[in-house]
Amino acid sequence: MEAAGEVLRLTSLRVKRKITGVYLTREVVEALLTAAKEVHPREFLLLLRGKVKGDKLFVEELVVPPLATYGLGFASFNPYLLPLDPSIIGVAHSHPSGLAKPSLEDLDHFMGYVVVIVAYPYASPSDIHAYLANGIEVGFEVL
């Protein structure tokens, strides 16, 4: 049982760390917009892999979670199927409704440091938004 407590403490430490900036590679931005278009009107869900440097997050690639389900109004995966991977720093998913703000469910199922939401019409980086665990939007830059 102590191991589970350790995992919970590590998770809460990750979420409480102060993050002031998110940086996405151009390839990640293009892949997010493409993935959202490909599964529309269903939601997609991907894991963000990258590095934390001080108070900045650098997202370098996307990972498809095992057995992910992309549905109408939801996307899900079984977190128990994920390997322990400290390079997973957040999640990304689409909002086909066009509303770019995180829902209560998004915040309740927060994982890592940041959630990235890609809102319809998925046309440009301005349709991508990054949020911290408290629901506050944090700016991002394309590298």
Q: Would you write out the chain's pLDDT as a tens digit for each of its 143 residues?
A: 334 433 333 444 445 578 889 999 999 999 999 999 998 998 888 999 999 999 999 999 998 887 676 667 766 667 766 778 888 999 998 899 888 998 888 887 788 899 999 999 999 999 999 998 888 999 899 99
Question: What is the bridge-based pairing of β-strands 140-142 and 21-24?
Answer: parallel
Q: What is the pLDDT of residues 56-92, one digit of tens each?
A: 999 999 988 876 766 677 666 677 667 788 889 999 9
Nearest Cα residue to 132 out of 60, 57, 35, 53: 57
**Contact predicate 39/70, CB 8 Å:** yes
Q: How far is CA 26 from the centre of its chain?
A: 16
d(CA 31, CA 4): 34
Tokens of 107: 């915040």
CA geometry: angle 124, 128, 129, nearest 5 deg: 150
In the chain, the number of structural domains is 1
What is the domain extent for residue 42? Answer: 2-142
pTM for the predicted model, two decimal places: 0.81
CATH number at residue 19: 3.40.140.10
